[in-house]
Structure 1
């Protein structure tokens, strides 16, 4: 699903690649929109995971200043990046 597709002054919301193809858009433009949507989705999921999972660990590390807490925080960040890889990573 592509949440927002802009092309030539037109904007279409919440459409599938097939629907865009049926509307007559070029496949190369559809592919570019799908790639951009993938990046947007990964970015959103990473930000949410950082907020809920790694930021609390970061705050604990800032409070404790121990190597153990730093390692826990950095491991969680690495796990989030592995869970939500950017296209091409």
Structure 2
């Protein structure tokens, strides 16, 4: 899931200062958007860890027991999904 922010009723994905300045944002607005992005990303560490415990760890244990390629792939797919849902950068 890609980070976005709203400015002038439009969604934006570019977090560079040059881009935000070109949109007409002042430094206080830029700092606020960056702070919010950084906070949300920091929360993803805890969210990702909880999702691993709840969703992927049981699949890993099943794979360790079964030792089948299908069980291993199911676990790897779940890990990839969690990483996409809770990006760290």
Deviation at 1:84, TM superposition (A): 1.3
Map 1:20-59 onto structure 2 (within 5 A): 33-59=35-61
Q: Which has the higher contact order (CA 8 A, sep 6+)?
A: 2
Q: Which runs of 4+ in 1 moved over 6 A?
A: 26-29
Figure out how many residues of one structure are paired with residues of the other and give that number: 63
Gaps in structure 2 of 5+ consecutive residues: 1-27
| Alignment correspondent of 1:22 | none
Map 1:1-89 onto structure 2 (within 5 A): 33-87=35-89
Gaps in structure 1 of 5+ consecutive residues: 1-25
Query: What TM-score, normalized by structure 1, do the two folds share?
Result: 0.58
Within 1, Cα distance between the matches of 2:34 and 2:43?
14
